Amino acid sequence: MLESGPTKKPDPNLLEFQDCTVFRVLDDNFAILKCDKGLILCDTCDVWLDPETTAQAASKTIRQVINIGDQRLVHAALIDSKNKIQYLASSGMISIKDFD
């Protein structure tokens, strides 16, 4: 029988697979997402077009690959809970529809 190891407690400073909505597109490179925990800043290197290519690597602007209201799954790190935008996306801006 396999023994299970100690369970790892989630880090309160990290969001993993957070369900978010694109709230605002700031310019060609940056957008703000909204989730239950707060606001997340993301840029073109966080938007994955396929498993190997980001929007930045494909020379796409953020406006070309996401729209206000889009649902995304995001990994993010807490920068400062007192800031208006509390989190910075670290990876994984996968479209929710990719899981349907």
- Looking at residue 23, its pLDDT comes to 95
- Looking at residue 52, its pLDDT comes to 86
Examine residue 9 and state whether it is found in any structural domain, yes or no: no
> Domain range holding 74?
14-99
- Phi, psi (5° rounding) for residue 44? -65, -25
pLDDT tens per residue, the chain (100 residues)?
Answer: 555 666 778 788 999 989 999 999 999 999 999 999 999 999 988 888 888 888 999 999 999 999 999 998 899 999 999 999 999 998 766 665 655 5
CATH number of the domain within which 82 lies: 2.40.50.140
Query: How many angstroms separate the Cα of 53 from the Cα of each of 7, 91, 93, 95?
Result: 33, 12, 12, 14
Examine residue 2 and state whether it is found in any structural domain, yes or no: no
Residue 23 DSSP SS3: strand
As for how many domains the chain has, the answer is: 1
The rounded distance, in Å, linking the Cα atoms of 97 and 94 is 9
- What lies within 8 Å, CB to CB, of 48 at 6+ separation is 54, 55, 91, 92, 93, 94
